[in-house]
Amino acid sequence: MLRSLVVATLLTATPTRAADDSPAVDYASQVAPILQKYCAGCHNDEEREGEFSLESFASLQKGTEHGPAFKAGDAASSRMIRVLTGAAKPIMPPKGEPKPGDPEIATLKAWINAGAPAPKGDPADRPALVVPKIASRAKARPVTAVASTRDGKWLAVARFGRVELHAASGDGPTPDDKPKRVLNDFPGKVTAVHFSSDGARLATASGVVGLEGEAALWNPEDGSLISRFRGHRDLLFDAELSPDGKVLATAGYDRTIRLWDVDTGKSLRTLEGHNGAVYKVSFSPDGRFLATSSADDTCKVWRIEDGLRLDTLPQPLKEEYACAFSPDGRAIVAGGADNTIRVWDFVSTDRPRINPMVLARFAHEGPIVQLAFTPDGSRLVTTAEDRTIKVWDAADYSELQLWENQPDVATALAVAGDGKSFWVGRMDGTSSRYPLPAARERKNDARVVKDASAAPVRDVVEAKRVAEHEPNNAVEQANELELPAIAAGTIGGGKDGWADIDLYRFLAKAGEPLVLEVEAARTGSKLDSFVEVLDAKGKRIERVRLQAVRESYFTFRGKDDGTVNDFRLFSQDEMHLNEYLFTNGEVVKLWLYPRGPDSGFGVYPGQGNRWGYFDTTPLAHALGEPCYVVQAHPPGTELVPNGLPVFPLYYENDDESHRELGKDSKLYFNAPADGSYLARIRDVRGLDGADLRYTLTIRPSRPDFRVEFTPLKTAIEAGGAQEFRVKAQRIDGFEGPIRIDVDGLPPGFSVTTPLVIEEGQVEALGVVSAKVDAKAPSPDQAKAGKVTASAVIGGRELSHPVGALGEVKLADKPQLTLAIRPAEGGAKPVRDSADGPLEFEIHPGQTIELKVVLERNGHAGPVSLGNEGAGRNLPHGVYVDNIGLNGLLITEKQNERTFFVTADQSVPHQTRSFHLTTAAAGGQASHPVVLHVR
């Protein structure tokens, strides 16, 4: 509105009053409300439409850069009146907007004709908020905030227009309790209270919606006001003192955060960047940083010293109402309207950096209102609009205790300084004190672990062969087996419209790992087998209990039953490597992060056919199909409800989960107790017939491995290097690391040895290289290389010969060579010697910068170093980052480029060599460098 007030009339030198004797028009109570109602929505101090503001008398006096907006004493000549009445263009307010009526126009004219007198008091003050006074009919006075001193002396309870100070003892103040002291001097709702670290001061946040925000410091001992802090343009939502008590941070509806010098009361700086109301501020324990949560669906991290924004945490899906640093300062936790607790590792302590999100936990069935840590950081308390309160174990943010059905929403929360209890205040005006449960003792439960690496290696015992005999459909008719055994049978001869099933009874000891394997389709049988283990009474046995901790669904496209890549999932940026994903009965494990916005997760094993876990069978999944990130718990575990499903899995299998047996079944069984068990086999389609033959083998598990190696076929150029690959087939659930040793290389040649196939992985990549001055080997030397694989299983080392390395040949100088070098300003090598490879160090959660240097010896074209697999043989969870759509590419005009290596937070400490490779110029690899993760 009033956009064209760029050519305004001049003010007269001496204002004149109107000739009539009508009562004087008051600016604050009569003029300002009209301007606020019709004009200040566009013409205000923050959004100066037409470079003009009518928000306050002071702003109105400034007019525009071309002159004032009115002529005191002459309303008829004042452009403000002319555009409001339509006497001048453009007519204001614009078409479609409410317009002032004739009485309101008359009031404005009378004020100008009277000389446009300033409001009483400070003319720079904003006008008072003029709204009807409507008496509340509610009897309850909601508790809006609570806080307690560390020593437990004081408990502050905030309500509208007052703060009550109680002794922090007992179960919390009741409506009949008389506070020891009451603070009353507030302009409106008190939205936050925080005691200083020493308990000597109380910070409060208050204000008037649409007018201003006000923070204040109080002395709780005598209730005296120490100082006030004004400057926000709207209601404050929070005001918190730094740990040393020198800085006050305030934030509110005007989207800004202000930092104040407590001693002088002066504003140090204003932090801008949020696009919505700022609900919470939280200092780091050392007072150097500030976290803020906002209605713009983000949290931000700021440096107090200079106001620098260090990071924006963008993962929340809705408004974030609460945030806090962990007491050790290593993490930031936030919650809000998407019902989810999110945790970020705080790493941007020295410069702006991305703080990786390490966890997103669905926490409540309503928006999270408040959260607070215990002083030792071991537990987190949350309250929510679903009228629940929860306590979480901060080690993994698993739920410890739930208080349901609160009388009303607990909008206020404070944890006692001794960490033994906490207070809540509710919308119905009540407050309560609750005891805090102890943090959970961390334990490992072997009942959930599938890896057979620790299982003892058993001697092979010849299995007894038996023939199935009918009837064996009922529990009491089951054929008896003495293990190990191989039973030959047919799913045929069903009666009364029921398909045939076969039952076998066997004895097992607690914890004894057994394997049940069906051979049918592989021998031409029409049987599509389904095998399961039941207890002695024929009931299913729970194997594992999966609790969903995050919900999602398939986006972009569905998946067939074999795909291992491009799992595009809703909120996939909240998921992490090695997490289980449950979807329609199948459990997969996340293997590779999405490599940009137009990609999805890779799942294990990262190549070939997809693996199912807990003997689940890979299935096809539709676009939009629900899926869940789940955590595995021992069978029968009493889980605290979190609003998401719990999925029990049983000892059963359709198609073998690694897809190595086609449609045949394979099941791993660990007996929960000594006793008799039943093996049941049937056709998964419910068919039977004479051509549905099978053999069922039940035997002890024999964890083992086989390693495949393709012998070298390409000559190694002098000064060059070639990559080789070793792949493992894991047998009977063996998941441990496999060591590969290469011996017998000719002089002048070197090889990556030992090479390790990591736990749970299926391959490793190495390099054979030749020195620049290497001599061609003799025929015997060229064929002397041998490859051996070994692993520790059940406390014993098993070693298997893999085969010959292949004939090592020497060729002329390569057309190009690759070398990994330190980047200027990047990571510095921790070891750089002439007689060994470069060695670098990376920490979990860190990104380092390196450089690849290309020496061209005839190859003039571009050199591609790969995409998501660009870092060859890097530890699982460490990857070449920020590669873009073209991958890691050196153009024809370049001879070097920097690249980034990122280590996921979950990567264990280890040492491993890696290299780069290209298919250009016949294929070349760089000499390996060593990477220490620690």
Q: Which of 529, 526, 453, 457 is nearest to 697 (CA)?
A: 529
Helix (H, G, I), strand (E, B) or coil at 782: helix
Gap between the Cα atoms of 933 and 927, Å rounded: 19
Per-residue pLDDT of 265-281, as tens digits, reads: 999 999 999 999 999 99
Neighbours of 810 (CB within 10 A): 18
pTM score: 0.78
- Give whole-number Cα distances, 152 to 195, 288, 931, in Å: 11, 26, 50
Q: Are strands 479-480 and 502-508 parallel, antiparallel or unpaired?
A: parallel
Judge residue 458's burial from the number of C-beta atoms within 10 Å of its C-beta, 0-12 exposed, 13-18 middle, 19 or more buried: middle
If you search the block for the tokens 């894991």, which residue do you land on?
730
Whole-angstrom distance, CA of residue 379 vs CA of residue 439: 7
| Sequential DSSP letters for 500-561 | P-EEEEEEE-TT-EEEEEEESGGGT----EEEEEE-TTS-B-EEEEEEEEEEEEB-SS-B-S
Query: Alpha carbon of 154 to those of 63, 172, 220, 309, 580: distances in Å?
Result: 51, 11, 8, 35, 46
Where is 61: in which H helix or E strand? helix 57-62
Per-residue pLDDT, 749 = 93
Q: Are strands 839-842 and 863-864 parallel, antiparallel or unpaired?
A: unpaired
- CA distance from start to end of the chain: 62
- Domain 704-811 is found in CATH 3.40.50.300: no
What pLDDT, on the 0 to 100 scale, is given for residue 47?
73
HSE-up of residue 858 (Cα within 13 Å, Cβ side): 7
Conformational region of residue 377, where left means phi above 0, alpha means psi within -120 to 50, and beta covers everything else: left
- The answer to whether the CB of 839 falls within 8 A of the CB of 930 is yes
How do strand 320-325 and strand 331-336 relate by DSSP bridges? Answer: antiparallel
Which CATH number is correct for 273-409, 1.10.357.10, 2.130.10.10, 3.40.50.10740, 3.90.470.20? 2.130.10.10
Residue type at position 652: E
Structure tokens at 817: 């060579």
Domains 704-811 and 816-933 share a fold: yes
pLDDT for 5 equals: 37
Q: What residues does each domain of the chain span? A: 1-128, 273-409, 447-541+663-700, 542-650, 704-811, 816-933
Alpha-carbon span 792 to 32, nearest angstrom: 83
| Residue 668 contacts residue 513 (beta carbons within 8 Å) | yes
CA distances from 104 to 29, 35, 59, 112, 132 (A): 12, 10, 20, 13, 17
Question: How does DSSP classify residue 359?
Answer: E
Neighbours of 172 (CB within 10 A): 21
Tokens 């949350």, residue?
382
Spans of the chain, pLDDT less than 70:
1-22, 64-67, 121-131, 170-176, 442-460
Q: Token pair of 57, please?
A: 């008398």
**Residue 165 and residue 180 in contact, taking contact as beta carbons nearer than 8 Å:** yes
Fold of 816-933: Immunoglobulin-like (2.60.40)
Q: For 862, what's the count of Cα atoms within 13 Å in the CB-facing half-sphere?
A: 9
**Among the listed residues 729, 891, 746, 869, the one whose alpha carbon sits nearest the alpha carbon of residue 806:** 746
Domain range 447-541+663-700, its CATH number among 2.60.120.380, 3.30.1490.20, 2.40.30.10, 3.20.130.10:
2.60.120.380
Residue 456's pLDDT is what?
58
Alpha carbon distances (Å) from 357 to 266, 354, 716: 36, 9, 44
